Chain A
Amino acid sequence: MSMSTEAVSPGRGWRRYFTWNTDHKVIGVQYLVTTFCFFLIGGLLAMLVRAELAQPGPDFLNGTEFNRFLTNHGSVMLFLWIIPVLAGFGNYLVPLMIGARDMAFPNMNALSFWLIPPAGLIMLASFFVGAAEAGWTAYAPLSIQTPVGQTLWAVSVIILGTSSLLGAVNFVTTVFTMRAEGMTFWRLPLFVWGMLATSLLVLLATPVLTAGLVLIAMDRMAGTLFFSASNGGDPILWQNMFWFYSHPAVYIMVLPAMGIVSEVYPVFSRKPIFGYKAIAMSSMAISILGLTVWAHHMFTSGMDPRLRIPYMISSMIIAVPTGIKIFSWLATIWDGKIRFTTPMLFALGFISMFLIGGITGIFLAAIPIDVHVHDTYFVVAHLHFVLFGGSVSAVYAGLYYWFPKITGRMYDERLGKVHFVANFVGTNLTYLPMFLAGLLGMPRRVSDYSPEFTTLNLLATLGAFLLGTSALPFIYNAVVSWVSGPKAAANPWRALTLEWQTDSPPPAENFHQPPVVNSGPYDYGQPMGVSGQAQAVPAVGD
């Protein structure tokens, strides 16, 4: 398998986005747009689920249908939206930010992308043959008994894992071998650090999920007995393999998001990031600690009681590097000159909502509380504050922030702010009531509930529909601005990182001259008014 074959000619115009194209910028856009479509599908599934739950009693979905929508909502959102959309940002930005012409393996990069649409179609097509209905966690032995769609689900997730894995190989290799002259590790933008930390997790954790899914698929198709309790098989084995990946996966979904907001705060505060090295290293710390906490999802499983304590402690310790980041961000905006652009609003929203997800994580790590709230709506609220209030806010921040760079046009600020407000209110309205529902006794993944939870559920459903609607101004804004928005300058935000030191959108191979870096990525407020990392471009060259 040769990765270094001649790159395919890029072509111009919109058609290139539908081809096998090896330009990382084209691939980045392919990722962003495709995954956003899956986001909309996942969102529609969520709204169907919430509609069923607006009132107690069976309304229009039976238990099986409900479980199918629920399972695919989770799977689509995690495997086809958050993880790959962040890889999409990585694709577009990492080479630009480190001053490279492209990724290290352009063809493999195109392959990473082109695995996604078929995998997504396989997952969704399974609705025609009885979709997966065992939750995104696919706990055995339920996931061994469900209809054939569950096999398609496993195949789809294996393909998506492979895509993610190839991407991670590419990111790490690119960052290690393709940096521009002068781009030392301590001058890497924090988004690149986030991608690096994430890629290491993907490399080490994803294959274990793949192995687990292989065992599930073998049990279903080849008659193996891994999870068949009556033959001595062990359902808990799946939980270990699943969470060994799926807990780190939370950090795979969060670390690049933290990287995105770390780019946004300094630019719109006109101030250097506070504690650059601490933020970079806390990403690595989260990444390493993240591999040691998986069994905190299994405190109620009847696992060896002695083993629970180290998992509780390691899970709580993760709050420390996370706290370092949050305080560093606050110190970054403190005494700055803050501009409330849409990306900055989403980035500030990120802190405020991710914080709630983070704090409630401590509750879940504390075993005595966890055995009460585990598998309840408390967990649903917690994970959505992390992934929706956190990651999705950061994704929106990133989409607005790099919109002028990617499209060469400006988006509409007013619509952006409408989007932010609707999204912020919708998120809190949807997920805050769920904390209470969970504490009071509502299990998660139920298609029906006791009438005592009606008000809380109605609020959550209203919030979910507000959230769904809030995507409309964004879509309108993105489409109209991309087609006919005002032309954007190369560096409309006066940012210092390398991606802004080239045209909007960047030319083929990114830079007219190979950039030479002689300063940090966030050196705002320097007396000489340094204009960017590429200040001294002509130093070496032709």
Chain B
Amino acid sequence: MRERSIFAIVIVSMLLLVVGYLAATQLNLMPTQASTRAVLVDELFHVLVGTAAVVFVLVEGILVYAALRFRQRAGDETDAVPIHGNTTLELVWTAIPAMIVIAIGFYAYQVLTEIEKPAPEPMVVEVIGRQFIWQFRYPGEGVTAQELHLPVNQPIRFEITSGDVIHSFWVPQFRGKRDATPGRVSEFLVTPTEIGTFPVRCAELCGPGHANMTTQVIVESPADFQAWLAGQQ
């Protein structure tokens, strides 16, 4: 009886976990993927969501089950059977999470290496944050704009700095941000893959106008981009 119920619980929970993992990895919680890095980041994200869903369902499931199943029965004032520990069990729940986080760490490291691999011939765009505007400079073209234009499928290297306090350059659809820090230039690599208009937001509190320190990035075909560039010169 006891063994059979344990067996049933194990089977049902395994099934639930697999279903949970699969369902969770299908969840779309991210904005449009508009860069090469977005695809890789989202893959990692989905694996994490799936793993998290399993852990979540497991722990909350045990919690709710135990709370319902092991309520004190009316009038029963005796203590429960004392169990102080179980070395095997404790080793298992130390080792398995350790293996999971090491695997995640390894995977995350791989994704990081991949998304930060320098492209052979990137186009450089200088980004300067100021209270409370963004400036984009295209070196060699003599163009400075407050709206970011990028040619699609062209690897970009942003060189990001600030004219006053710390800002953070963020395009959610590109899946990444980099702080604009006065006195230093930070690099950020992106290859836009989607033609469209996306928001540029400041992600680091930079003063009263922080919320409105936004502009847009317009990803367009190389021809459109060249036309825009020519129009600015």
Contacts and interface: CB of A to CB of B under 8 A. Distances in A.
Nearest to A449: B211
Interface in B1-58: 29-31, 37, 40-41, 44-45, 48, 52, 55-56
7 contacts: A63-B208, A141-B166, A320-B101, A331-B89, A338-B66, A445-B205, A448-B212
A67 B209 CA distance: 10
Contacts of B176: 371-372
A327 B207 CA distance: 44
B102 to A, nearest CB: 8
Contacts of B206: 142
B72 A337 contact: yes
A195 B16 CA distance: 39
Contacts, number: 266
Contacts of B81: 271, 335, 525
A440 B30 contact: yes
Contact of B205 (A134, A363, A435, A436): A134
Interface residues of B, number: 82
A269 B81 CA distance: 10
Contacts of A362: 48, 52, 101, 104
Contacts of B201: 441, 443
B85 A139 contact: no
A372 B67 contact: no
Contact of A234 (B105, B183, B209): B183
B98 A317 contact: yes
A337 B177 contact: no
Given A336-B80, A440-B30, A330 B59 contact: yes
- Main secondary structure on B side of the interface with A: mixed
Contact of A142 (B166, B203, B212): B166
B116 interface: yes
A271 B82 contact: yes
A524 B177 contact: no
Contacts of A8: none
A324 interface: yes
B85 A278 contact: yes
Contacts of B183: 229-230, 232-235
A137 B204 CA distance: 11
Interface in B90-109: 90, 93-94, 97-98, 101-102, 104-105, 108-109
A435 B30 CA distance: 11
B193 interface: no
A133 B205 CA distance: 9
A274 interface: yes
A369 B80 contact: no
Contacts of A11: none
A236 interface: yes
B233 interface: no
Contacts of A135: 205
Contacts of A212: none
Interface in A375-421: 375-376
Contacts of A300: 168, 177-179, 203
A278 B86 CA distance: 11
B165 A141 contact: yes
A359 B56 contact: yes
B208 A374 contact: no
A344 B115 CA distance: 46
Given A139-B204, A142-B166, A369-B41, A326 B59 contact: yes
Interface in A273-325: 274-278, 300-302, 305, 308-309, 312-313, 316-317, 319-320, 323-324
A41 interface: no
Contact of A338 (B67, B97, B115, B184): B67
Contacts of B185: 302
